[in-house]
Structure 1
Amino acid sequence: MNRTDLTRRSTLMLLGAGAGLVAAPYVIRPARAQSKVVNITTYDKFVPQSFIEQFQKDTGIEVRVRLTDDQGKQYNLLSAEGGAPTTDIVTVTGHRLSQFLKSDLLVPLDVARIGNFGNLAAAYKGAPQLTIDGKVYGVPLLAGFEGLARNTEYTKPTETWGYMFEDEFKGLTSYIISDFLSIVMKYQGNDGDYVTYEGKPEIAQAATDKARDFLIANKDKVRKYYDAGSEVQQMFLNEDIYLAQTWSGPAAKLIMDGHPIALSIPKEGTYGFLYSFNIVKNAPNADAAYIFLNAMLASPEIGAAMTRQSGFNSAFGGVDKLLTDRERAALALPQEQVERIQFFSSVNRQMKNDMIDKATAEIKAA
C-alpha cells in the first residue's frame, strides 16, 4: 500500500483561494433487512438539512445521520461492529485513512457509479489525495487546518503561538489537548506529526514529554479543554475565552456570522487535513450510499451550503463563485500563512496516536 499523504500543493491552492440546519442525530439500527435507507456517520453541520430533505423526497431513501466529534470514536465503533456494521458512510480524515484501511473497514469506491464525480474542484479531480494503488477510497468533502483564533476586541494581532501562554490570558484560552500538543511540539521546534520519528521512539518520546510538561506548566492559562467545535464557538460568544487553538471551520463560521473573531496561522506553522465520505465494508445499504454520494456532488450549491454551515473549504467545483465577499474573506488566508500549513501524514500514525493519547491523559490528570 502506498502512503496516503495529501497532494500538498493542490490542496493549499484550494485553501488559499477561499473556497442551515444539521440533520438531527438518529439512533441507527442494524439495517440488514432495510431498503431505501442510508446510514451516515459524520460531523455536526457537514450535511445540509435542506439537501437531505430534497434527497429523501426525490429518491424515497431515508437518510439517518449519527453525529461524531472524533475520528478515534468512529474507528473504534466500526472495529467493534466487525463484519456487521450499522453505518454505510463514514467521514474520515486523510491522515487517518490508512488506519481504517489497515483494519479492513472501508472498500474502494466504484467511481463509475458516481456520475458526478467529475464535479470536484480542480485540486481534487480524480481524488488523488484518496487514491491508493490505483483505487479511490473516498469522496473529498472539506479541507481545513488548525489555527489560532482570537477575539479582536480583547487581543492584538500576533505572529506566534506563544501568545496563548501570555500571563494576561490566564483562564482565557482553550484548546483540544491532543491537537494542540502536536502544535506545541512544532512551536518547540520538534516534529508534531512524528514522521521523522519513525523507528526513533526515544527521540519521539522526549519531544512528546517536553510538550506535555510545557502544557502542564501553563495549565493556568486554560479556561477549558474542549472536544467539539460548537463548544469553542460558544465560549467565544460568551466571552469566556479570548484565544483558542481551533479547527478552521468553527472559527471561520463565527467570522462569516459577523462576530469579532480573527483566524491566523502563526509563524511556527500548523497542520492541515482533508475530510472525505467513505463507504464502509459490508455496508448494509451500499446501493443507497452510492445514490447519496452522486446526489451530493450534483451541484456547487450543495458544496456552498456545506461550507456555510461548517466553515471549512469545500472540495466541490464552483463553490467559490457562490460565496459572498464576507464568506470568501473568512475562508481565505494570506499566501505566506497558507505556506505554513503542513498537511497531516499517514506515516508513523500508531506511534503518534499512542504517545499523544498517553500525554493527553497525563495533562488532564496533572
Structure 2
Amino acid sequence: MNNFDVTRRSAMKLLAAGAGVLAAPSIIRPAFAQSKVVNITTYDKFVPQSFIDQFQKDTGIEVRIRLTDDQGKQYNLLTAEGAAPSTDIVTVTGHRLSQFMKSNLLSSLDTTRLKNWGKLAAAYKGAPQLTVDGKTFGVPLLAGFEGLVRNTEYAKASDSWAIMFDDENKNLTSYIVSDFLSIVMRYQGNDGDYVTYGDKPEVAQAATNQARDFLIQHKDKVRKYYDAGSELQQMLVNEDIYLAQAWSGPAAKLIMDGHPIEISVPKEGTFGFLYSFNIVNNAPNADAAYTFLDAILSSPEIGAAMTRQSGFSSAFDGVDKVLDEKERAALSLPPEQVERIQFFSSVNRDMKNEMIDKATAEIKSA
C-alpha cells in the first residue's frame, strides 16, 4: 500500500480550493437505477436536505441517512456487519482509509461511472489521500483542520496553544480528548501523528504519556470534554466556554452566522484532514450509490450548500464563486497559518490508535 504525504503547499491548495450554495439545481437523471434506495452513514449537516429532496424527485431513489459523530463507530459497525452491510456509502477521513481497507470494508471506485468526476477542484483531482496502488477509494467532499477557537469578546488573542492551559481560563475550555492529545504532543515538540515512531514504540509511548500527564495536570481548565461539533457550538453560543480545540467546520459555521468567534492555527501547528464519500464493499445498493455520488458532484451550488451547512471547505470546483464575501472570509486563514497545517498521515495508524485510545481513557478517568 502506498502512502502519500500531503505537503503544506498541497494543504494550502486544498483549503483554498473550497473557500469559495444554496440552490437546488435539477440533477441529471440516470438512464437506469437498479435499486430505489441508498443508505448513507455521514455526519450531521454534510448532505443538504435541498439536494436530497431534488435527488429523490429526479431519480426515484430514496435517501436514508444514518448520522455518526465518530470514525471509530463507523468502523466498528461495518466490521460487525461483515459481508452483509446495511449501508452503501460511508464518510471516511483520508488518514483512516487504511484502517477501513485493511478490514476489506471499502470498494474501489470505478470513476468512469461518475461523469461528473471532472468537476472536482483542481487540487483534488487525483485525490492522493484517497489513492492506493493506483485505485481510488472515495469521492473527496470537504477539507478541514484542527484549530484554536476563541470567543473574541472574552478570551484574549494568542498565537500559542499555551493559552488553553492559562490559569485565567480555568473551567472555560473544551476539547475532544483524543484529538487534542495529538496536538499537545506536537505542542511539546513530539510527533502527534506517530509517523516517525514506526520502529520506536517506547519513544511513542513516552511522548504519549507526557501529553497525557500534562492534560491531567490541567484538567481544571476544562469545562467539559465534547464529542460532536453541535455540542461545541452550543457551549460557545451559551458562553459556557471561551476557548476550545475544534474542527474548523463547526467554528466557521458560527462565524458565518455572526457569532463573535475566531479560529486560528497557533505557531506550534496543527493537523488537517479530508472527508470523502466511500462505497462500502458488498454494498446492497451499489448502483444507487454511484447515481448518488455522481449527482452530488454535478454542481458547485451543491458543494457550496455543504460548506454553508458544515463550515468545511468544499472539494468541488467553482464553490468559491458561489459563496459570498462573508462566507469566504469565515473559511480563510492567513498564509502563514495555513503553512502550519500538516495533513494527517495513514502511517502507523494502529500504533497511534492504540496509544491514543488508552491515554484518552486514562485522562477522562483521572
Is TM > 0.5 for Structure 1 vs Structure 2?
yes
Q: Tell me the secondary structure at the aligned position of residue 38 of structure 2.
A: strand
1: CA distance, partners of 2:6 / 2:41: 23
Which residue of the partner structure matches residue 240 of structure 1? 240
5 Å-filtered alignment, 1:72-221, equals 72-221=72-221
2:171 aligns to what SS in structure 1?
Answer: coil
Contact 2:11 2:341 in 1 (8 A): no
Are the equivalent residues in 1 in contact too, given 2:21–2:302 (CA < 8 A)?
no
Q: Does the 8 A contact of 2:215 with 2:363 survive in 1?
A: yes
Q: Which residue of 2 aligns with 1:305?
A: 305
Q: Deviations over 1:305-345 (max 9, x none)?
A: 00000000000000000111110000000000000000000
Report the Cα distance in structure 2 between the residues aligned to 1:83 and 1:8, rounded to whole angstroms.
Answer: 39
* Whole-angstrom CA distance in 2 between matches of 1:283 and 1:10: 32
Q: Is the 8 A contact 2:7 2:342 kept in 1?
A: no
Deviations 1:172-210 (A, max 9, x none): 000000000000000000000000111111000000000
Alpha-carbon distance between aligned partners in 2 of 1:155 and 1:169, rounded to the nearest angstrom = 8
Partner Cα distance (2:129, 2:359) in 1: 30
> Which residue number corresponds to residue 19 of structure 1?
20
Please report how far the alpha carbon of residue 301 of structure 1 lies from its aligned counterpart in structure 2 after TM superposition. 0.1
Contact 1:40 1:64 in 2 (8 A): yes
Q: What displacement does 1:7 show? A: 5.8
Aligned to 2:268: 268
Q: Secondary structure at the match of 2:66?
A: strand
Tell me the TM-score normalised to structure 1 length.
Answer: 0.95
Give the letter aligned to residue 239 of structure 2: E
Q: Which amino acid aligns with 1:19?
A: G
- Secondary structure at the aligned position of 1:308 is classed as helix
- Counting only pairs closer than 5 Å after superposition, residues 221-232 of structure 1 correspond to structure 2 as 221-232=221-232
What is the percentage of aligned positions where both structures have the same residue? 80
Q: Distance in 2 between matches of 1:139 and 1:228?
A: 23
Match for 1:327: what amino acid? E
Identify the residue that residue 289 of structure 1 maps to in structure 2: 289
3-state DSSP class of the match of 1:156?
coil
- Which residue of structure 2 aligns with residue 29 of structure 1? none
Report the CA distance between 1:130 and its aligned residue: 1.1
Q: Hey, what does 2:278 align to over in structure 1?
A: 278
Q: Distance in 1 between matches of 2:202 and 2:299?
A: 50
**Shift of the alpha carbon at 1:8?**
4.8
Q: Contact conserved, 1:20 with 1:49, CA < 8 A, in 2?
A: no
SS in 1 for 2:106: coil
The Cα shift of 1:11 comes to 3.5
Tell me the distance in 2 between the aligned counterparts of 1:346 and 1:128. Answer: 12
Q: Is the 8 A contact 1:20 1:309 kept in 2?
A: no
Q: Distance in 2 between matches of 1:160 and 1:9?
A: 22
Quote the residue 1:27 is aligned against. none
Distance 2:16 2:141 in 1: 16
1:337 is paired with a residue whose SS is: helix
Q: Deviations over 1:41-65 (max 9, x none)?
A: 0000000000000000000000000
Contact 2:174 2:225 in 1 (8 A): yes
Give, in angstroms, the shift of residue 4 of structure 1. 4.6
Question: Tell me, what secondary structure is at the counterpart of 1:142?
Answer: strand
Cα distance, 1:131–1:20 mapped onto 2, change above 3 Å: closer
Q: Which residue matches 1:322? A: 322
- C-alpha distance in 2, partners of 1:300/1:3? 30
Contact 2:144 / 2:248 at 8 angstroms: preserved in 1? yes
Q: Letter of the aligned partner of 2:191 in structure 1?
A: D
Relative to structure 1, the CA distance from residue 117 to residue 16 in structure 2 (aligned partners, 3 Å threshold; closer, same or farther) is closer
| Count of residues in correspondence between the two structures | 354
- With over 3 angstroms needed to count, the CA separation of the structure-2 counterparts of 1:191 and 1:225, relative to structure 1, is same
Q: Which amino acid aligns with 2:83?
A: G
Long gaps (5+) in structure 1: 22-33
The one-letter code of the counterpart of 1:350 is D
For structure 2, the 5+ residue unaligned runs are 23-33
Instruction: Tell me the SS of whatever aligns to 1:233.
Output: helix
CA distance in 2, matches of 1:356, 1:10: 27
8 Å CA contact 1:16–1:338 kept in 2: the answer is no
